[in-house]
């Protein structure tokens, strides 16, 4: 029996709120259809090595274009501090010289200290522990934090923007060369 | 046929913009929001995602000046039962901020003390939990969810409350402040019935 329209809408609301859900928790075909009517799409990530596939709610095509006048489009989804932390974490995770699957809190704090000559403890730790995992961008793991489902579902323009930001960070003279592994 | 395709494109544009905007969209900027039939379809598309279209009125409360999207009342009730990533201290602090700005400031029109001073003066349950670094971190979490602004005033998330959601908030406040009142007992009974219906 097909789920009711209300049940499909609730499952999409839960997906949006949680940032990601196991794909098996969604009536996938109906949810994809509803999402498409609103310019959204469901991206499935993972699903290899007997791990369950995860669903992330994304935009069809590219994210809504930025607006030069109010209201801001798109609105800021993350705080400024979480965005800074995310860029540092992404730069560490994607550093070709280090080949990391996860980063630790000391690695992130050390990188911030080297780059800015200031401690990032007060703002980076809450971002690592709460805001970024809540947004599905990082996943806590045994070693620290790994790439989260929402990061895996980034579209091409977002990947390009992040790649550009992290390249600039890694080109900084203080980028932690010794922080391998 | 081309008109229908144009309409559908305008509707999807408006839905995407509503879902991404940090403030109300003006109907004159979005064709699908200025036309009543198209606006109805925008509302239906949002409804499919557990969202709804929320008109924003002018100060007199008579003219629609813009539109926001927000959780549907059904989705809001459902999501309120799930964990939201906020901690108990965050909810306690948010309640105090709401009392400070909304009840003392806006409703009662009192001269407000600076917020941090007011929080320092708080002597009720859990006062130790909202001091020092714990308070600072909690305020950051509330700010990240747009529940408060950088100056600690109530944030844009409160602008997205529908009349039903605002009533629920008022009822919750009443439960907190007058738990023994007869109306509080009525509210509790009605919520119990809602929970039973949902489970």
The residue among B117 and A49 whose pLDDT is bigger is B117
The predicted model scores a pTM of 0.86
Whether pLDDT at B21 is above 70: yes
Whether pLDDT at A180 is above 60: no
Q: Mean of the pLDDT values across residues A126-130? A: 89
Whether pLDDT at A75 is above 90: no
Q: Mean of the pLDDT values across residues B158-174? A: 93
Q: Taking phi first (over 0 means left), then psi (-120 to 50 degrees means alpha), and beta for anything else, what does residue A98 get?
A: alpha
Q: Mean of the pLDDT values across residues A2-24? A: 92
Closest by CA to A94, choosing from A20, A43, A168, A150, is: A168
Whether pLDDT at B85 is above 80: no
Whether pLDDT at A178 is above 60: no
Does B51 touch chain A if contact means CB atoms closer than 8 Å?
A: yes
Q: Phi/psi at A147 (nearest 5 deg)?
A: -55, 130
Q: Which residues contact B49 (CB under 8 A, 6 or more apart)?
A: A9, A12, A13, A16, A34, A35, A38, A40
Does A123 touch chain B if contact means CB atoms closer than 8 Å?
A: yes
- The minimal CB distance from A9 to the residues B19, B47, B85 is found for B47
Q: What is the largest CA-CA distance in chain B?
A: 67
Instruction: Give pLDDT tens digits for B120-153.
Output: 888 877 777 788 888 888 888 888 788 999 899 9
Whether residues A10 and B84 touch (CB distance < 8 A) is answered with no
Interface with A, mutate which of B133, B144, B157, B159 (most A CBs under 10 A): B144
Q: What percent of chain B has pLDDT over 90?
A: 60
Q: Mean of the pLDDT values across residues A136-161? A: 92
Predicted confidence band at A1 (pLDDT cuts at 50, 70, 90)?
low
- What pLDDT was estimated at residue B2? 62
What's the gap between Cα A88 and its chain centre?
13
Question: Rounded to the nearest 5 degrees, what angle is found at the Cα of B188, between the Cα atoms of B187 and B191?
Answer: 85
Does A14 touch chain B if contact means CB atoms closer than 8 Å?
A: yes
Lay out the sheet containing A144-147: strands in order across.
Answer: A102-103, A144-147, A138-141
Instruction: Give pLDDT tens digits for A35-73.
Output: 999 999 999 998 888 888 999 999 998 778 777 777 887
Does B18 touch chain A if contact means CB atoms closer than 8 Å?
A: no
- What pLDDT was estimated at residue B100? 92
The predicted complex's ipTM stands at: 0.85
Chain B residues inside the 8 Å CB shell of A6:
74
């Amino acid at each position: 029996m097909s789920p009711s329209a209300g049940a499909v809408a609730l499952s999409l609301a839960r997906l949006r709120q949680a940032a990601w859900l196991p794909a098996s928790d969604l009536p996938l075909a109906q949810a994809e259809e509803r999402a498409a009517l609103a310019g959204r799409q469901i991206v499935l990530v993972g699903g290899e090595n007997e791990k369950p596939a995860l669903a992330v709610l994304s935009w069809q095509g590219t994210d809504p274009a930025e607006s030069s006048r109010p209201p801001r489009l798109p609105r800021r989804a993350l705080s400024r501090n979480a965005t800074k932390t995310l860029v540092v974490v992404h730069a560490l995770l994607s550093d070709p010289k280090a080949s990391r699957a996860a980063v630790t809190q000391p690695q992130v704090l050390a990188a911030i200290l080297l780059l800015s000559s200031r401690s990032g403890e007060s703002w980076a730790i809450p971002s690592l522990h709460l805001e970024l995992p809540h947004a599905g961008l990082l996943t806590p793991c045994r070693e620290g934090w790994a790439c989260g489902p929402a990061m895996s579902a980034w579209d091409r323009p977002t990947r390009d923007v992040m790649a550009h930001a992290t390249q600039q960070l890694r080109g900084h003279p203080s980028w932690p060369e010794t922080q391998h592994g | 046929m081309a008109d229908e395709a144009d309409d559908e494109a305008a509707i999807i544009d408006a839905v995407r913009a509503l879902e991404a905007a940090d403030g109300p969209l003006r109907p004159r900027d979005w064709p699908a929001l200025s036309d009543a039939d198209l606006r109805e379809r925008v509302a239906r598309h949002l409804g499919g995602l557990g969202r709804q279209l929320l008109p924003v009125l002018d100060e007199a409360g008579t003219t629609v000046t813009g539109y926001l999207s927000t959780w549907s009342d059904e989705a809001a009730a459902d999501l309120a039962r799930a964990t939201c990533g906020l901690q108990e201290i965050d909810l306690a602090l948010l309640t105090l901020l709401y009392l400070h700005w909304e009840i003392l400031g806006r409703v009662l029109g009192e001269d407000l003390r600076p917020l941090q001073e007011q929080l320092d003066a708080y002597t009720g349950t859990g006062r130790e939990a909202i001091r020092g670094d714990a308070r600072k971190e909690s305020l950051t979490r509330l700010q990240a969810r747009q529940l408060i602004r950088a100056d600690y005033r109530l944030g844009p998330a409160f602008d997205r409350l529908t009349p039903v959601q605002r009533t629920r908030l008022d009822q919750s406040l009443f439960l907190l402040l007058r738990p023994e009142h007869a109306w509080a007992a009525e509210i509790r009974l009605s919520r119990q019935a809602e929970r039973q219906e949902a489970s």
